[in-house]
Amino acid sequence: MNEVLKKLRKEIDQIDSAILNLLSRRAKTAKKTAKIKSNSKNKNIFRPEREAQIIRNILKLNKGPLTDEHLSIIYKEIISSCLSLETDLKVSFLGPTGSFSGLALKKVFGSAVSPTCRDSIIEIFDDVISKTVDYGIVPIENSNQGSINQTLELLIDKPLLICGEINLDVKHCLLSNNKKFSSIKTIYAHEQTFLQCKDWLTKNLPNCKKISTSSNSEAARRVTKIKNSAAIASHDCSSEYDLHILKNNIQDCFNNVTRFILIGSEDIDMSGKDKTSIIVSANNKSGALYSLLKPLSTNKISMTKIESIPTKRKNWEYMFFLDVDGHIKQPKIKKALNLIKKKSTFFKNLGSYPKSI
């Protein structure tokens, strides 16, 4: 063996040994912190704001050659593994396995959690309310297709808070049991996915029958048993369901991001880079909304999202979903939201939480 190569391999072995010792030390220290938490008022072992701080600090120190994305994945798994020594964290997501919601779950929690697949968004909310699980992950908006109205409506009605957010790049693949592109007669996918791939499908598979499913991973599961069919789903679904990738990245817009939220029942502390979400309604008269939101501009608070939601109680009556930069514990945020609350006919604070990394 080349002596230089032999020396480098020995160095790698020594580094791996040092990493292992440090990982073991970290895990033991994490267990000590968990014991202290269990004796405190706030017994929650998983703290989204603390995890966000850890990842941000690591990325700030990163000088390469590993990318920020690689380091985020590595440290999520380290945190996840340490967390599993402290508690069995249960999380519901929109399944089945291989869905984009499942990928969002991994991005937040890593692999060492107990996931529960659900068929609908309302089931995930109900799981968290009943304490069947600790948290739920649900989609709230897509950069191309807009908001998920069911999620917004459930946030109004259900007694839960937003504890975090995850922005996930959505890349669609055409998957099939068949190896030949020309043999495809039927395509399965979620209805929103068909919209996101409309131009590509019109150009490349104009005569195929399209069948909507509850999720893209459900589409992938179905085509494992159906000849001459294909599913539009994530890259992960190809290995999960043993399907061939006929074509990668068939979405029409490559800037295609879905925002997911982490729902739970506890308030989240400040991480340093936070967002606060509220739902409000104003009197149905000229200038009411402008007057309602004026405290934001007065206090120089950036509003990053506003979305109208029909109340379903009366025609043309709306509530408004708002995201603002900052945390409710910051004096100017607290002051502005209190003023908005006084002027509104309905007000619900959905929580403050770390911005997606």
128 and 226 part of one domain? no
Final residue in a domain of this structure, among 223, 255, 287:
255
Strand, coil or helix: 80: helix
Q: How many domains does the chain have?
A: 3
* Both tokens assigned to 1: 């063996």
Here the CATH number for the domain that contains residue 286 is 3.30.70.260
103 and 158 part of one domain? yes
Looking at the DSSP bridge assignments, the partners of residue 166 are 260
- Give yes or no for a contact between 240 and 249, defined as CB atoms under 8 angstroms apart: no
- DSSP for 141-175 reads EETTTEE-HHHHHHHHHSS-EEEEEEEEE---EEE
Residue 79 lies in a domain: yes
Residue 197: what are its φ and ψ, rounded to 5°? Answer: -120, 15
* Both tokens assigned to 129: 């309310």
Residue 37 lies in a domain: no
143 and 120 part of one domain? yes
163 and 177 part of one domain? no
Query: If residue 27 lies in a helix (H) or strand (E), which one and from where to where?
Result: helix 3-38
Final residue in a domain of this structure, among 214, 234, 266:
266
Q: Nearest CA to 79 among 100, 101, 48?
A: 48
Residue with tokens 């910051």: 330
pTM of the predicted model as reported, rounded to 2 decimal places: 0.90
At 95 the pLDDT is 78
Q: Which domain holds residue 209?
A: 173-255
At 38 the pLDDT is 75
146 and 242 part of one domain? no
pLDDT tens digits, the chain, 357 residues: what are they? Answer: 688 999 999 999 999 999 999 999 999 999 898 888 777 766 678 999 999 999 999 999 999 999 999 999 999 999 999 999 988 999 999 878 888 899 999 999 999 899 999 989 999 999 999 999 999 999 999 888 889 999 999 999 999 999 999 999 989 999 999 888 888 999 999 888 999 999 999 999 999 999 999 888 889 999 999 999 999 999 989 989 999 999 999 999 888 899 999 999 999 999 999 999 999 998 878 888 999 999 999 999 999 999 998 877 677 778 999 999 999 999 999 999 999 999 999 999 999 999 998
